[in-house]
Amino acid sequence: MLRPWHITTLFAVLAGFGFYSNIINRERTSYRSRNIPESLSAIECMKLRRIILQNSKSIKTRHFLQYVNDIQRCPWTENKTAFNHLKLCLESCCNASHFMLVTQENTPIGHTFNYETQQKKTIQITPEIHQMFPKVSPFNGKHLGHCAVVGNGGILRNSFCGNEIDKADFVFRFNLPPMNRSYDTGSKCDLVTANPSILTSKYGSLQGKRKPFIDMIKSYGSALILMPAFSYTMNTDICFRVLHSLEDFGVHNRVVFFHPEYLKNLSIKWKENGLKAKRLSSGFMIVNAAMELCERVTLYGFWPFPKDPEGRLVSHHYYDNISPKPGFHSMPQEFYFYIQMHTKGSLYLKIGEC
């Protein structure tokens, strides 16, 4: 039997919950309301597309950010002709379905690799190394459907893109990101790259206790773990150690390795197209692979600038504000190519909230 004070307490709790929910909803509504831009006219959009496609690599950053903000106010239409043209160009130079990953099929025992970034350094494929490779590429002959390529940019914070990302047929992620903001970043993961530098800084190169690393890997479900074992000589041992650690703990995620020839060919192609960088970022590598392997591609969390298109400060990553080493990658220039692909209708670049 409810006493009067029970009823009073119950109403107080319900009122408090309603007040809290109202505040949260108002905050979300307020955040969303200031991000609903007015659409541009068809003529304005046509002029804007022309500017981006002709001049984006030479546009000053402050102007470029305004163009990026404005292009979001124009309707986006998928252009299958532009998409298929880029897909064919990438297939002819690089062939991701067969050569993105090292396999037993494309790399026989006794083969000698030149390292991707250290061409004078080589490694011979022994029977022990050969058995680490999948027999054939898991992408060979497959069509992945709609792919979400999820970057780690701070632009993802408060984007509420998680549900949209998880609806994709295949989800790519980068550099073992924390999976603790599912409402913004989603929870689905089919492939995640793993930079050896992260394993060195956070997990002691797996030389000591490996359980924390194993627990972290489990947050990606059954995703493929993609590593650059043959990009630098210093990467090889730690990449092999990751594979052996997962086997030792009975974790069934498959560790696969970038093919150094694939990465070298991809780099040559984009240098010929004017991209000047010491090395392509892992994000750019995977976007290119997705353009070959998928039927439709949407990018989330790609934003290399310290302010969003509306001038608000954003962190470099959605989980920290640690910037990359200067002069190594050229992410702003890579982003210019993304916005051109978006403008052509080859892929959809999602910026801000969903």
Domain boundaries, the chain: 1-34, 42-75, 79-349
CA separation for the pair 281, 328 (Å, rounded): 9
Specify the residue for token string 């608000």. Answer: 312
CA nearest neighbour of 235 among 102, 324, 90: 102
pLDDT given at position 326:
62
Q: What is the pLDDT of residue 345?
A: 97
Catalytically active residues, by annotation: 329
> Which pLDDT does position 63 carry in this prediction?
78
Q: pLDDT band at residue 10, thresholds of 50, 70 and 90?
A: very low
47 contact partners, CB below 8 Å, separation of at least 6:
none
Q: What percentage of the chain has pLDDT greater than the value 70?
A: 86
pTM here is 0.87
Q: How confident is the model at residue 90 (pLDDT cuts 50, 70, 90)?
A: very high
Average pLDDT over residues 50-75: 80
The Cα 221–Cα 251 span in angstroms is 10
The DSSP secondary-structure symbol of 251 reads: -
| Side chain identity, residue 284 | F
Distance, in Å, from the CA atom of 58 to the CA atom of 52, rounded to the nearest integer, reads 10
What pLDDT, on a 0 to 100 scale, did the predictor assign at position 352?
83
**DSSP letter (8 states) at residue 142:** -
Please name the amino acid found at residue 96: A
191 burial type by CB count under 10 A (0-12 exposed, 13-18 middle, 19+ buried): buried
The secondary structure of residue 193, as a DSSP letter, is E
What pLDDT sits at residue 103?
98
Q: Which of 3-12, 98-107, 213-222 has the lowest mean pLDDT?
A: 3-12
pLDDT of residue 198: 92
- What pLDDT is stored for residue 329 in this prediction? 58
Task: Compare 70 and 287 and report the one with higher pLDDT.
Answer: 287
- pLDDT band of residue 328 (cuts 50, 70, 90) is low
Burial classification of residue 40, based on how many CB atoms lie within 10 Å of its CB (0-12 exposed, 13-18 middle, 19 or more buried): middle
For residues 318 and 177, what is the distance between their CA atoms, to the nearest angstrom? 9
Mean pLDDT rounded to a whole number for the chain: 88
pLDDT tens-digit map of 235-274 = 999 999 999 999 999 999 999 999 999 999 999 999 998 8
Residues in the chain: 354
Edge-to-edge strand list for the sheet holding 170-173: 255-257, 224-227, 191-193, 170-173, 146-150, 296-300, 348-349
pLDDT at 310 over 50: yes
Question: Tens digit of pLDDT for each residue in 106-149?
Answer: 999 999 999 999 989 999 999 999 999 999 999 998 889 999 99
Pick the CATH number of 79-349 from 3.90.400.10, 3.40.50.2300, 3.90.1480.20, 3.40.1010.10: 3.90.1480.20
Which of 33-42, 45-54, 139-148, 290-299 reaches the highest mean pLDDT?
Answer: 290-299
147-203 pLDDT per residue, tens: 999 999 999 999 999 999 999 999 999 999 999 999 999 999 999 999 999 999 999
* Relative orientation angle of helices 80-93 and 260-272, to the nearest 10 degrees: 120
What pLDDT score was predicted for residue 22?
Answer: 44
Least-confidence region, from 59-68, 146-155, 204-213, 214-223 = 59-68
The reported pLDDT for the residue numbered 36 is: 52
3-class state of residue 260 by DSSP: helix
Lowest mean pLDDT among 37-41, 48-52, 174-178: 37-41
